[in-house]
Chain A
């Protein structure tokens, strides 16, 4: 397996061409966003902070309820599969670390994320979900410590490490990483990885991903400016 660093031939414009977003597509939700990353599309909506149900107990913090809905019909029953539950829990840790939960005691927020289109593998869809979630929270004006952005990186058998991979490349590789960075110090907030790799590859991947996260933050700024102007 090659471990060569791929040439960063992408410049600013091409990153922004693979990112698209629509803010507040759902009028009745507190915040909502639709985000496209290459060939993956996600919609997320957020309702809250509202009152708690009787059974729930969150005395001094905010209760976060996340539901991830994969494309209906992709598994037989209507219930969530274990993989989807894992995604829900992963995203819940992200929300807990970002949102200032002490500001809303005895309240809950409900987040629903729909995966609308996924032609590539898991890396792009995971990154898409994270970014959609962040944009939704920004759209809902929830008080957050920092914004975050996720970058998918794959380890292609011949081309090495590729960031924001195209569908063809992603389907050809079995190892991928998704890194979530936060905006203030550009540190890693969360990550998910799958496949065979060693620590050196992991560190290289983080180095490649950081500047891309910076560009995604710029994209967030642009979108929010468009909305507020």
Chain B
């Protein structure tokens, strides 16, 4: 599958508009498209749309051995998958190069900026740590995948809940979400990315380019900043030569966007958990299954009173956390126990149970 070739007429029209400081979708040159953030019931799953560009992110965790040089730090990995969308620039290798470039920028933003407290991911120093992986899938490419993917990553990290672990001497126990409430990751700051596209030898700048504009740009500068005005990364791609003042203007523009988005991300995740909070954790450890024909079982998200059936809420289903914790790289399997928590005999779930994963 390939994208459509950009015709000369299209190219001329778009460049002319840019010279007149106008854009095809009637935005100003420093206006970004509206961002829409949607969560699903699985913790860490978020679907973000920036205009029409659509990216989904899912966070998952694993217990692994830490690096020898950093014995008490966990790992964070980001993987961007653009294999299902039409090839950018019409050739597979150019597409792959593009994917790798974006992946590199995203990884650098998250890892090198220290936005997650890696030491909080440690379970047993030198032996076991959590390894978090964010899988990003691009569903629709309408320009500026980088910003969209970045927002998705941050939302997913903030939304994700890590299972509780307890260490007793040499025994380690991972609790399911029913026994102990999983806790959020420690995120120190939000490095938000803002992309600037440059045209015609770097003379004209646009923020958040649409796919038509992105195809014709000479190059881009992506500035990753947090709300404390700290720059977490600057990248320049394409064929560009810029002056220092241009970068300074970009930084100022970026800062305003960063403030808005940081508030927005925080707000959205907190709202989500506020909505499901009173229902999920009112009585977490009591499970009574009603025996008589009860047809008051609605979807369960908004209407469960305490005197009726207290359900294991479908939001965080029993085998959910287990299905995300894989045991493939477990150093010492016999010292670890995952709790048995299937009170209601599930149909073969996609959970990676210990028996299936032992190699």
Contact = CB atoms under 8 A, between A and B. Distances in A.
Interface of A: 9, 18, 25-29, 38-39, 41, 43, 45, 47, 50, 67, 69-76, 78, 81, 83, 110, 112, 114, 116-123, 159, 166-174, 176, 194
Interface in B8-59: 40-42, 45, 47, 52, 54, 56, 58-59
B139 A74 contact: no
Interface in B273-306: 293, 295, 297, 299-300
A28 B142 contact: yes
A168 B324 contact: no
A121 B84 contact: no
- B interface: dominant SS: loop
Given A26-B54, A27-B142, A72 B41 contact: no
B97 to A, nearest CB: 19
Given A25-B54, A45-B139, A69-B137, A75 B84 contact: no
Contacts of B249: none
Contacts of A174: 345, 347
A159 B60 CA distance: 36
Given A117-B42, A166-B297, A28 B350 contact: no
| Size category of the binding interface on chain B | 35 or more
A169 B45 CA distance: 25
Contact of B1 (A9, A110, A118): A110
A114 B139 contact: yes
B141 interface: yes
B299 A26 contact: no
B293 A159 contact: yes
Given A26-B54, A69-B137, A171-B347, A74 B300 contact: no
Contact of A39 (B133, B142, B314, B324): B314
Contacts of A9: 295
Nearest to B42: A117
A119 B346 CA distance: 11
Contacts of B317: 119, 167, 171
B7 interface: no
Given A26-B54, A38-B299, A76-B357, 20 more contacts: A27-B140, A28-B140, A39-B299, A67-B84, A71-B42, A71-B58, A71-B350, A72-B137, A73-B60, A74-B351, A78-B79, A81-B350, A116-B47, A117-B40, A117-B42, A117-B45, A119-B314, A121-B349, A171-B317, A171-B345
B81 interface: yes
B227 interface: no
A187 B81 CA distance: 40
B140 A29 contact: yes
Nearest to B141: A28
A84 to B, nearest CB: 9
A117 B60 CA distance: 15
Interface of B: 1, 40-42, 45, 47, 52, 54, 56, 58-60, 62, 79, 81, 84-86, 133, 135, 137, 139-142, 293, 295, 297, 299-300, 311, 314-315, 317, 323-324, 326, 328, 344-352, 357
A76 B328 contact: yes
B261 to A, nearest CB: 22
B47 A167 contact: no
A70 B343 CA distance: 25
A73 B40 contact: no
The 3 closest A-B CB pairs, nearest first, are A73-B60, A72-B135, A121-B347
Contacts of B314: 39, 119-120, 167-168
Contacts of A118: 350
A213 to B, nearest CB: 22
B149 to A, nearest CB: 13
Contacts of B58: 71-73
B347 A168 contact: no
Contacts of B315: 119
Interface centre among A27, A38, A170 (most CB of B within 10 A): A27
B1 A47 contact: yes
Contacts of A171: 317, 344-347
A15 to B, nearest CB: 13
Contacts of A78: 79, 81, 135
Contact of B352 (A47, A75, A120, A122): A75
A50 to B, nearest CB: 6
Contacts of A194: 347
A70 B9 CA distance: 41
B61 to A, nearest CB: 9
Interface centre among A69, A71, A110, A194 (most CB of B within 10 A): A71
Contacts of A122: 347-348
B45 A116 contact: yes
Contacts of B85: 28
A205 to B, nearest CB: 16
